[in-house]
Amino acid sequence: MANLVIVESPTKVGPIKKYLGSNYKVIASKGHLRDLPKSSLGIDIDNGFDAHYINIRGKGDLIKEIKKEAKGAKKVFLATDPDREGEAIAWHLATVLGIPLEKTLRVGFNEITPSVVKASIKEPRNIDMNLVNSQQTRRLLDRIVGYKISPLLWKTVKSGLSAGRVQSVATRILVERENEISEFVPVEYWTVEAELKNADGKSLSVRFFGDENGKIRLGSESETQAVLDAINNGEFTVKAVKKADKQRLPSPPFTTSTLQQEAANKLGFQSARTMRVAQELYEGINLGSEFGGVQGIITYMRTDSLRISDDAQALAREFITEKYGEDYVPATPRKFIAAKGSQDAHEAIRPSKVELTPTSIRKALTPDQYKLYKLIWERFIASQMQSARLSTVTADVENSGYIFRASGYTVAFQGYMAVYEASEEAQAQSDEVAMIKDIRIPALKKGELLSASDINAEKHFTEAPPRYTEASLIKFLEEKGIGRPSTYTPIITTIIARNYVRRDGKSLVPTELGTLTTKIMEENFSNIVDYKFTANMETDLDKIEAGKLDYLDMLSGFWADFKTELERAEQKIGSADIKVPVEETDIVCEKCGSKMVVRMGKFGKFAACPNFPKCRNTKPLTPTAEESEQKEKEPKKEVIADFKCEKCGSDMVLRSSRYGSFFACSKYPECKFIKTKTQELDVPCPKCGGKVITKHGRNKSVFYSCENYPKCDFSSWDMPTAELCPDCGKMLFRKKGKNLLVCADKSCGYKRECEPQRTEVEEQ
């Protein structure tokens, strides 16, 4: 009789089964098996917030299979993910299987590696109801807010809208920044720069700083001209040269939020892409027999802890000593202090084995996996290395009582910088030296005269604060204590899906609908969109997890205040005349003469008559002649492959023809080498867990197949995605030629609209 191990993700099944051997059977729950019903609130507020959980539609067969396997098993190990959500899934599993809490065997794998999996199975624990209650409380709060406020929005603003507890706060952040930008008044200021030379003819670029009393801001042309008149008649003399040695400390290893921020800044990854790839690296990569086959190569990726295990730290120090030398290892191991309120259940994100260098396993990784793993590996190794030593120089040059300044530094000892340097955004937050440019300043002596080869004055205007990107929004949410590592990506995904926010390049811009909804929320539910209130709720959830607060007390306290707000809002909103602002076009309706407006439909934006339903005229929105001309002028972006031409060694670039896409040598027509393109999707095969690849049929149209064909016969005209059905947990497919996601299980019937699919070149 074998033991049964139940995990969440199907991709974990193979590796864990291999590590544990024939005495264990491993199956996947594919996420949650039970949840609150969609058709009703599902919470009996008057009866102690009793939650009515039901089996998720479409998971009946899976539940039967799990029950059957559990009935014949010697022991049942609940090995869902090691966080609040995973603990709740384990609790639901125990309920479905009828296992008493005191007899549950709960295990969590911080790494999917043989040693960690085997050690965890040997030391199971009971389900932690404090963790479960913390997750339950968040779920109930979100359900109450959404199901009580949303109907008010349907009546007064637009059908189908919904309000989320944390999503509404995130939208407010973006709306407030947009208001700052629109209300910003530019202020004029001037800079004066001089190109100087010493007696040896070496150049030095200096900028106006002020006078002996301190810094001066030049706010007008007249002030600037007064400085220019004075220095044109004077001499540039070296007043002071200050030299200093400074240390630059390495950044700590990644948490979920810092990984998302740095991946956005350095790699251009959206947070959803970062988390999807990190999940793949955690759950297991087939590294080949040389490196031990399938195994997870990073630790659990949802964490806000900076803690590193002693064993991992010792191995890292040993690796650094062998690779770079003893000078690169600090005398004592580094300890990083996490922000207040962070959880310490898991380590920081680090490679499972430091000896698995990015270069050594590159062939086993997809381009995205390699980029992210390299980022994680380098950041971790650098975090355990010696500080960099910088030699800084600041030179003050005087002319007619005015001070001009030049600053720079040189790297005296690389230290951790031999492996990794944080992005400019990250470095500027924690390092004063980051504000000094890496420039060379010639040897100067106090009192030395310098000749001016050029003096240039330039007018500038202060700029409005920038719009938030995903990286900067996540940073803001973390600083304010809003949300947790597992919620940042869903927050952003949700507010975009609800059309409260749109993307403009990397920027997140609130729509008119988002602005209006935020206004309604601020006027009627001020607590829900209050930063401090939301952060305090997160703190209370942490207290529930730690066993310091009863979850029913928190829910009761919240409901008492929210109920009052709700009753007041129902009267106030019900009497208000609220209309969603419309975007007017220059297109004139030929049927009634009105100017048409922009509407959102199933397949994107279109122009519609504002007099609907009296006039039902619609038109597709096409780019103007100027926009089309500008697009033609824009250079086409070439997609360069991550491999070289096999004939001449030049770059290979993506090309397309009527027969599909292929890679061609960039030196064409001198070199005519080509290679057909088989695109690999970042999704597992729904049948065997292998990689899904694109292929071309006889009619040259694309279809999807498993890389393990013919051993695995999976193929589909519809594109498999990384998303799972919220009803039954099975894979969602994008219907061919449509902006529609459908569940793989036809009996489930789940479907929803999705964003238009980008072309291969845009995806690359």
- What percentage of the chain exceeds 90 in pLDDT? 55
Residue 673 near residue 688, CB atoms below 8 Å: no
Strands 402-413 and 449-461: unpaired
Distance from chain centroid for Cα 437: 29
Q: Look at residue 159 in the predicted model and tell me its pLDDT.
A: 58
Q: Could you read off the pLDDT of 575-584 as tens digits, one per residue?
A: 555 666 677 8
Helix (H) or strand (E) holding 43: strand 43-44
Rounded to the nearest 10 degrees, the angle between the axes of helix 551-574 and helix 512-524 is 110
CA distance 652 to 675: 9
Residues 632, 630: Cα–Cα separation, whole Å: 5
Residues 6+ apart with CB under 8 A from 35: 53, 54, 56
Whether 430 and 392 have beta carbons less than 8 Å apart is answered as no
pLDDT bucket at 498, cuts 50 / 70 / 90: confident
Per-residue confidence band for 50, with pLDDT thresholds at 50, 70 and 90: very high
* Distance separating alpha carbons of residues 26 and 28, to the nearest angstrom: 7
pLDDT at 91 over 60: yes
pLDDT tens digits, one per residue of 294-332: 899 999 999 988 999 999 999 999 999 999 999 999 999
**Rg of the chain (C-alpha set):** 30
Nearest to 335, CA basis, from 347, 343, 351 = 347
DSSP 690-753: -EEEEEE-TTS-EEEEETTTTTS--EESSEEEEEE-TTT-PEEEEPTTSSEEEES-TTT--EEE
Residue 625 pLDDT more than 60?
no
Residue 346: CB partners within 8 Å, gap ≥ 6?
82, 83, 110, 299, 300, 302, 303, 305
| Contact criterion met (CB below 8 Å) for 35 and 56 | yes
Band (475; pLDDT cuts 50, 70, 90): very high
**Predicted confidence band of residue 404 (pLDDT cuts 50, 70, 90):** very high
pLDDT tens digits, one per residue of 256-280: 999 999 999 999 999 999 999 999 9
Residues 576, 577, 583, 588, Cα dihedral to 10°: 180
Q: How far, in Å, CA of 386 to CA of 329, rounded?
A: 5
Question: Across 129-248, where does the E strand assignment appear?
Answer: 188-197, 203-211, 214-215, 236-248
- According to the model, what pLDDT value does residue 764 have? 25
Token duo for residue 665: 């040598």
Percent of the chain at pLDDT exceeding 70:
88
Which are the catalytic amino acids? Answer: 300
Tell me how crowded residue 730 is: count the other CB atoms within 10 A of its CB: 20
pLDDT confidence tier of residue 77, bands split at 50, 70 and 90: very high
Count CB atoms within 10 A of the CB of residue 313. Answer: 18
Written as one letter, the residue type at 548 is: K
CB of 3 within 8 A of CB of 25? Answer: yes
Q: Which of 248, 246, 251, 249 is nearest to 262 (CA)?
A: 251
What's residue 435's pLDDT?
A: 45
Q: How far is CA 234 from CA 231, 237, 451, 455, in A?
A: 5, 9, 11, 13
Contacts of 725 (CB under 8 A, 6+ apart): 58, 731, 732, 743, 744, 745, 748, 750
Q: What is the pLDDT of residues 337-393, one digit of tens each?
A: 877 656 666 889 999 999 999 999 999 999 999 999 999 999 999 999 999 999 999
Q: Three-class SS string for 390-453?
A: EEEEEEEEEECCEEEEEEEEEEEECHHHHCCCCCHHHHHHHCHHHHCCCCCCCCCCCCCEEEEE
Confidence of residue 747 (pLDDT cuts 50, 70, 90): confident
pLDDT at 447 over 50: yes
* Euclidean distance between CA atoms 510 and 173, whole angstroms: 9
How does pLDDT run across 349-365, given as a tens digit for each residue?
Answer: 999 999 999 999 999 99
pLDDT at residue 426 greater than cutoff 90? no
Instruction: Mention every residue, 6+ apart, whose C-beta is less than 8 A from residue 479.
Output: none
Q: How far is CA 41 from CA 15, 52, 400, 561, 731, in A?
A: 40, 9, 76, 19, 27
Q: Following DSSP, what letter does each residue of 76-104 receive, concatenated?
A: EEE---SSHHHHHHHHHHHHHHT--GGG-
The residue type found at 411 is V
Two tokens, residue 701: 């149209």
Higher pLDDT, 695 or 287: 287
pLDDT at residue 759 tops 50: no
What's the CA gap between 239 and 21, in Å, rounded?
A: 76
- Distance of alpha carbon 354 from the chain centroid: 24
pLDDT band at 10 (very low <50, low <70, confident <90, very high): confident
Burial, 228: exposed, middle or buried (Cβ in 10 Å; 0-12, 13-18, 19+)? middle
Q: Is the pLDDT of residue 627 over 60?
A: no
Q: Specify the pLDDT at position 633.
A: 46
Residue in the block written with tokens 């089309």 = 628
What is the reported pLDDT for 606?
A: 85
Contact present, 654 and 677 (Cβ < 8 Å): yes
Structure-token pair, residue 70: 């559990």
147 alpha carbon, distance to own chain's centre: 28
Mean pLDDT of the chain: 86
Angle between helices 512-524 and 129-156 (to 10 degrees): 110
Q: What is the pLDDT of residues 517-543, one digit of tens each?
A: 899 899 889 999 999 999 999 999 999
- At 679-698, the pLDDT tens digits run 667 678 888 777 788 776 55
Q: What is the 8-class DSSP label of residue 264?
A: I
pLDDT in tens, 97-142: 999 999 999 999 998 999 999 999 999 999 999 999 999 999 999 9
CB atoms closer than 10 angstroms to residue 726: 17
Triad 272, 276, 278: Cα angle to 5° = 115
Task: Give the pLDDT confidence score for residue 484 in this predicted structure.
Answer: 84
- Kindly report the number of other CB atoms within 10 A of residue 435's CB atom: 9
Task: List 694's β-bridge partners, or say none.
Answer: 704
Strand 24-28 and strand 3-7: pairing? parallel
For the cut 60, the answer to whether the pLDDT of residue 431 exceeds it is no
Contact (Cβ atoms closer than 8 angstroms) between residue 355 and residue 322: no
The span from the CA of 479 to the CA of 173, in Å, is: 13
With a cut of 70, say whether residue 677 has pLDDT above it.
no
Q: Which of 181-195, 338-352, 738-752 has the highest mean pLDDT?
A: 181-195
Contact 715, 723 (CB under 8 A): no
Q: How far lies 508's CA from each of 172, 203, 219, 405, 538, in Å?
A: 12, 43, 32, 38, 24
> Residue 763: its pLDDT value, please?
28
Which domains are present in the chain?
3-127 (3.40.50.140), 137-184+469-574 (1.10.460.10), 188-249+388-461 (2.70.20.10), 264-383 (1.10.290.10), 584-633 (no CATH), 640-763 (no CATH)
